[in-house]
Amino acid sequence: MGLIVEVDTVDEDAAVLVPPPNFSMVEDCIFRSSFPTPSNFPFLQTLNLRSVIYLCPEPYPEENLEFLRSQNIRLFQFGIEGKTDVSLPILRDSIMEALKVLIDVRNHPVLIHCKRGKHRTGCLVGCLRKLQNWCLSSVFEEYQRFAGAKSRNGDLTFIDRFDIVSLRQCLYSIIYQYQGYGSKKRRLLYTDENLQKPRLASF
């Protein structure tokens, strides 16, 4: 009688979860990364995302849209060109609108990404840091940590000159909420229904 050997199947739950390149937590419930691929979807599921902020003008791939649909994740797209000579007024307006989505806790947990997670994502996070009253040297250090050798002086200049006062005036109805179990961490909620809303990508 032959010996029967049972071969254990691979436990899917034990599979290695692969985050997108340049993935990091920005703040509680705010994440950043490069463009996710299907191999990253199981990892993204663990974040329980409610929204994705996509900073490129190209259409979102169908396989990524299908993943968002399956997880009930909203896509907010702000079409910022990846070139170094992007129009500053367009960049400023897009970053301003993206910030309104980013600081609205109703959209959290949220993932910010562009193509490489360096320049456009770095500009948005840098402007968020200014809103959080970070000193400029720390803002630049964080940008350069993700951009590496591809750091752009134009991005740093844009972050330096970004008008946070204008954003605060625009969001005059922002209220501060304390989130979490006994946490005293201050979070922002954008509540005015009359203010301009970002474009919600349709599936």
Hey, which residues are catalytic here?
114
Find the DSSP H helices in the chain. Answer: 41-45, 62-71, 88-102, 119-131, 136-147, 153-161, 164-170
Contact 77, 54 (CB under 8 A): yes
- Environment class of 21 (CB within 10 Å of its CB; exposed 0-12, middle 13-18, buried 19+): middle
Q: Write down how long the chain is.
A: 203
